Amino acid sequence: MIKVVILDWAGTAVDFGCMAPVAAFREAFERQEITVTEQEIREPMGMKKIEHIKRMLEMPRIAESWLETHGQAPTTADIEAIYATFEEVLFQQLANHAEVKPGVLDTVAVLRNRGIKIGSTTGYTSEMMGIVIAEANAQGYQPDHIVTPDEVDGKGRPAPEMLLTNLAYFKQENNQEVLKLGDTISDILEGKNAGVISVGVIEGSSQAGYSFDAYQQLSEAEKEALFKRVRREYLEAGADYVIDQFSELSSLIETIEAQQVVTS
């Protein structure tokens, strides 16, 4: 039986499309005279944010652009400057991008009624999460436990430390009774590295890459193509399951538990 569900935050439980960090990363690089694409921003999404910046700077096109603009490879001071701008902009954005995603409150209520504990991990720092948690609480969403990278010596996703810290808190020893749900490749890898059931959600995910308003403008054919692409990307990363919307989580858990009964 599934006893613990670990949820990501932005793009999974709140902030449809994971929009807050996109704007902050874009501005942080623009202040260094480097133009980055949304695809480049989203590729490392889910990681600890300073590691996310380092990963972007290693991308061949961005690395070449930086060298042409600055005449040398980025230094530690450059990375810290980008991160400082990222934090500045993000703190301005967070409160406006913490709306709980459709289906989350009802689904979490169903899970709680079944005795399932709700943990969470994130790429945000504790200070950033202070804003998001307050906004989410006001809307009725409050996980049983929250772990940020700075609580585990900076070991963010895809490393499993945040997830395993949740399990220690819940005194949960059987990893096959744990499901991790996230909206990025880093989330999928976090779940796999922790040895738990790893699931990706498509609608409102960073991997899909659409704000709520932009998503509503897509045709059914465009949505079908989007879901097909994101599903493939999750599965190629090792996801055990993929759901279209967050509201499908409770039925997925019922399916998993039925399969476990059959194979036990």
Indicate the annotated binding residues for Mg(2+): 8, 10, 183
The residue from 48, 49, 101, 192 that is catalytic is 49
Report the binding-site residues: 8, 10, 183
Assigned token pair, 189: 């890898």
Residue 8 bears catalytic tag: yes
CA angle 56, 57, 62 (to 5 degrees): 90
Residues constituting the chain: 264
Residues 6+ apart with CB under 8 A from 70: 32, 78
What phi and psi, each to the nearest 5 degrees, are found at residue 98? -125, 20
Residue 192 bears catalytic tag: no
- Max CA pair span of the chain: 62
CA angle 216, 220, 223 (to 5 degrees): 70
Assigned token pair, 190: 């976090």
Residues acting as catalytic residues: 8, 49
